[in-house]
Structures are given as structure tokens and as C-alpha cells.
């Protein structure tokens, strides 16, 4: 099928390549010239395992092309809207302006039988307004469906090609049939298909992210209790996780969730529910957010407890991205902690296997160091902020010889406590009862 994907960020670029892998002929549209030039040159503008290879493959097979102009020489049967919906700078709501401007431009180039499919995460009710706006501009009733995406950064392509489920929300049978054709290879493998109305499809996405955020904050709340009662939140998570009604996934306590999705989605959800007069229903998400923020503050407090006044204290932050295998630092707990420590007067060095270059000329108050053993020199406190695999293979004995003080806060609970303690480190693990 001829497919068009509008918006070539994380979601759109991945989706375009997933569509090409399924055998479709894909046109990717984005107004950002740099991004389009990059992609046409076979380069992915962000770090995502496997995407680079798939892009080169798709370009050489000519199954994908990218352009900045909103025109299609051959009409696409299905157009996916994958533009971003960031948090507004003035408040907590999701900014849907990119969705509506993409809709307006598309309405001028689509045909009456084109199916437009929203994939962006939007406040419930957006699709209906978009359908009305597009139909008015196009001069015919536009077929619009909603098909949320659940990919995670770090495993984006894999998640797109092997989803747990496909959710299709539509007002008409024609649109859902077209979408089922698009996903035929995936559906033929027995992947569950959930067909719903459009508001449900919009809600599914934010509800899923709200649930995941709640799960992480739940275990982080338990960590707070563990810290004042001498209990151990990691053992607790293990014990409750064996109950398969609870499950052990998304139950890792630490410095909390970040990224371009979970934090802004729970805030946007609360804001939308309030607009709809049902704010109380999800007001608990404000606590979920607050618990998450408190974990970041906790690390700063621990640093102060250990070091006294932070002025001129040398602190090393290991990891900056919001999760490993990603160079994304949006709402990253590690980065925010590093900035708070620097603000309190500490001399903060940052190390990350992937994100240092992506930082450009931002946050120059943080000293960047690519070589981890150079970074370690003279440090009075080390904080593990992102659980990159390479940090697990640090030899605590050799590493201990570089630093000034063998003091580490494991913000992700991944280090081998006994090995670090045997090497003479004082190790503080969030929510854990480790005797130093
Ligand atoms: C999230 C969802 O998991 C995806 O399903 C969704 O499609 C995506 O948002 C989106 O809306 O586009 P992602 O932001 O890539 O995916 O990251 P996650 O893997 O969900 O992790 C989010 C944060 O939670 C990370 O900072 C991670 O460190 C933290 N986390 C996760 C924990 O602190 N503990 C856990 O047990 C799990």
C-alpha cells in the first residue's frame, strides 16, 4: 500500500520504517529540513537501536522517501499523523497545535477515499475536532481513525513490529478495514486486535501511560516508607511482584520516571479531565507526579546529608538520558538532579555513553567527560542516574582508586551492593536497607 507518515520524530520515523518493513511504500513528510536531509542521507537524528540499519535498507530498496513539502505525486491510501504533542510552556495541557496544522495541510492534498489515521498522543476529544476541521478544509467528509502507538524508546522498532495489541478506533467500517489491511502481516500472526470507538482509542494511550506511571510511583512511595522504617523496597517489589495480578514489571524503584511521554501525559490527562469536569477522577495522578519529583529531591538531600554544604563539592553523575539505550534527556531525572546539585554549588561532572554530544551548548554549568576513569578523578560522590549496561561492569576496586571518596548513590538499584561494599565503598541505594 502507499502510506504517508506526517511527522518524523521518534514516533513517525520509527513508524515509517516499520511500515516499509511490512512491505508498504512509504512517503515521510516533515517540515524540518534538517531532519528530512538527515533521513535522506541515511542517518537517524536520534539514538535508537536498529533504526539506522533499517533506514539504510529501506532507502536502498526505495521503499521509503522523505520530503518537506506537503504534496503527494501519487496519492497515499493511508496517511498517519505522528506529530508531537508536547506539554504547553504555559501550563500542564498537551499542545495539539501540530496535530491541527498537519491536519489542515493534509486536508488540501488528500482524496475522499484517503484514510487519515491519528497516532499522536492527544487529549480525548481531539480527533472529533480534527475530523471536523479537516472535512471543512477538504470540502468532503474525511475518513479519520485513531490508532495509538505503544512503542518504547530503546526498543521502538521491535515494539512497532511486534506489538502486544493493535488498537483501532474509527467512526466507519471503511477506515478500520483499511487499517487492518495495513497491519495484515502483524494481525495474521495472531496479534490481538481491539476495535473501539474513537474517544476510547484516544483514551487507551493516556490510560496506559498513566497506569505505568502510577506503578512506578507506587513502588517509589513504598521506597519512601522503606527508608523511614528500615525495610527494603527492592525485596518488597520482588515479593509482591510474584503475584501475577500485580506482576514484577515496572516495579523498579529509584529516581523515577522521565522522558517525553509519561510525565507530560499524566499532566495532560489531569488537565483534560478537569476541562471535562471530571478532574477528581484522576486527581491521584498529581500525587503520582509529586512522588516522582520527590525521588529527585531525595537524592539532593542525601548528597547534602553525606557531604554537608555542597559548595565546591565534586560530584559525578553517571548517566543523563531518561533511560538507557536512548539519548533522550527530556524530563530526565538524572539530568535534573545534576542541575539541582550544580545550582546548590557543587562542581558536577557528567558522563553518559550517548547523550553528551546531544546536549549541544545547553547546561554548560555541568562538566562533560567522555572517559569514565578521567571523570572519576577526585570525586567526592558518585551518583548512578541511568542504568546503562556499561555501568554494571565498572570494577569498584579500580574505580575506587580514582575517586577521592568512595561514596556512591545507586539511583536505579542495579549495582552489586556486596561487590561495591567489599571494595570499600559506602553505597546508598534508594529505598534499600543496605548496611554499610
Ligand atoms: C513510554 C511507554 O512505556 C510506552 O508504552 C509508550 O508508547 C511511550 O511512553 C509513549 O507514550 O510514546 P518510554 O517513554 O520509552 O515509553 O519509556 P518507559 O520504558 O516507559 O520508561 C519511562 C521511565 O520510567 C524511564 O525514565 C524509566 O527509567 C522509568 N521506570 C520504568 C522506572 O523508574 N521504573 C520501572 O520499573 C520502569
Strands (E), 82-184: 115-118, 143-146, 166-170
- Rounded distance, CA 12 to CA 31, Å? 13
Torsion of CA 150, 155, 158, 161, to 10 degrees: 20
Report the nearest-CA residue for atom 3 of ligand 1: 152
Which of 133, 127, 128 has its CA nearest to residue 105?
133
What is the distance in A from the centroid of ligand 1 to the CA of 387?
13
Contact 66, 12 (CB under 8 A): no
Mutate to test the pocket of ligand 1, among 12, 152, 167, 215 (most ligand atoms within 8 A of CB): 152
Query: What is the structure's pLDDT at 44?
Result: 95
Q: Cα separation of 318 and 350, whole Å?
A: 6
Q: What is the pLDDT of residue 72?
A: 87
Name the residue of 261, 384, 386, 414 whose CB sits within 8 Å of the most ligand 1 atoms, as the mutation to test its pocket: 261
CB–CB of 408/436 below 8 Å? no
Q: What is the pLDDT of residue 91?
A: 82
Predicted model pTM: 0.96
Statement: residue 123 has pLDDT above 90: yes
Just list the catalytic residues: 261
> Please, which pLDDT band fits residue 82 given cuts at 50, 70 and 90?
very high
Residues 6+ apart with CB under 8 A from 184: none
* b/e map 245-271, b = 16+ CB within 10 Å: eeeeebbbbbbbbbbbbbbbbbbbbbb
Q: How far apart are CA 210 and CA 215, in angstroms?
A: 9
How far is Cα of residue 161 from the mean position of the Cα atoms in its chain?
18
User: DSSP assignment, residue 94?
Assistant: B
397 CA distance to ligand 1 middle (Å): 33
Q: What is the pLDDT of residues 413-424, one digit of tens each?
A: 999 999 999 999
Q: Is the pLDDT of residue 89 over 90?
A: no
375 or 72: whose pLDDT is higher?
375
Residues within 6 Å of ligand 1 by CB:
121, 149-153, 209, 212, 216, 250-252, 254, 256-259, 261-262, 322-323
Amino acid at each position: 500500500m502507499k502510506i504517508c507518515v506526517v511527522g518524523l520524530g521518534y514516533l513517525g520515523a520509527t513508524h515509517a520504517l516499520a511500515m516499509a518493513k511490512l512491505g508498504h511504500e512509504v512517503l515521510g513528510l516533515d517540515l524540518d529540513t534538517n531532519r528530512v536531509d538527515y533521513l535522506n542521507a541515511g542517518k537517524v537524528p536520534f539514538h535508537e537501536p536498529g533504526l539506522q540499519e533499517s533506514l539504510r535498507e529501506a532507502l536502498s530498496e526505495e521503499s521509503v522517501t522523505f520530503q518537506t513539502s506537503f504534496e503527494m505525486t501519487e496519492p497515499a491510501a493511508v496517511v498517519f499523523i505522528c506529530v508531537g504533542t508536547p506539554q504547553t510552556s504555559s501550563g500542564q495541557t498537551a499542545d495539539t497545535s501540530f496535530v491541527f496544522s498537519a491536519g489542515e495541510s493534509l486536508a488540501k492534498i488528500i482524496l475522499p477515499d484517503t484514510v487519515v489515521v491519528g497516532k499522536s498522543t492527544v487529549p480525548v476529544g481531539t480527533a472529533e475536532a480534527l475530523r471536523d476541521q479537516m472535512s471543512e478544509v477538504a470540502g468532503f467528509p474525511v475518513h479519520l481513525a485513531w490508532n495509538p502507538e505503544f512503542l518504547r524508546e530503546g526498543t521502538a522498532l521491535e515494539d512497532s513490529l511486534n506489538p502486544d495489541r493493535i488498537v483501532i478506533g474509527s467512526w466507519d467500517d471503511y477506515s478500520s478495514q483499511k487499517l487492518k489491511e495495513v497491519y495484515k502481516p502483524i494481525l495474521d500472526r495472531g496479534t490481538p486486535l481491539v476495535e473501539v470507538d474513537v474517544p476510547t482509542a484516544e483514551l487507551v494511550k493516556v490510560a496506559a501511560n498513566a497506569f505505568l506511571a502510577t506503578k512506578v510511583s507506587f513502588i517509589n512511595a513504598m521506597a519512601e516508607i522503606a527508608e523511614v522504617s528500615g525495610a527494603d523496597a527492592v525485596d518488597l517489589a520482588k515479593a509482591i511482584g510474584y503475584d501475577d495480578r500485580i506482576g514484577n514489571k515496572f516495579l523498579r524503584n529509584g529516581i523515577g520516571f522521565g522522558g517525553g511521554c509519561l510525565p507530560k501525559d499524566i499532566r495532560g490527562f489531569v488537565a483534560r479531565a478537569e476541562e471535562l469536569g471530571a478532574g477528581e477522577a484522576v486527581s491521584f495522578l498529581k500525587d503520582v507526579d509529586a512522588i516522582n519529583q520527590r525521588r529527585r529531591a531525595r537524592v539532593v538531600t542525601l548528597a547534602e546529608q553525606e557531604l554537608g554544604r555542597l559548595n565546591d563539592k565534586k560530584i559525578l553523575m553517571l548517566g543523563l538520558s531518561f533511560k538507557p539505550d536512548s539519548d533522550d534527556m527530556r524530563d530526565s531525572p538524572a539530568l535534573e538532579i545534576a542541575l539541582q546539585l550544580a545550582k546548590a554549588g557543587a562542581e558536577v561532572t557528567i558522563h553518559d555513553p550517548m547523550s553528551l554530544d546531544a546536549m549541544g551548548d545547553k547546561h554548560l554549568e555541568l562538566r562533560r567527560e567522555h572517559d569514565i576513569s578521567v571523570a572519576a578523578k577526585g570525586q567526592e560522590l558518585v551518583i548512578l542516574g541511568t542504568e546503562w549496561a556499561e555501568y554494571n561492569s565498572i570494577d569498584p576496586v579500580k574505580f575506587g582508586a580514582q575517586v577521592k571518596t568512595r561514596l556512591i548513590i545507586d539511583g536505579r538499584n542495579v549495582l552489586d551492593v556486596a561487590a561495591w561494599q567489599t571494595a570499600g565503598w559506602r553505597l546508598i541505594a534508594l529505598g534499600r536497607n543496605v548496611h554499610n
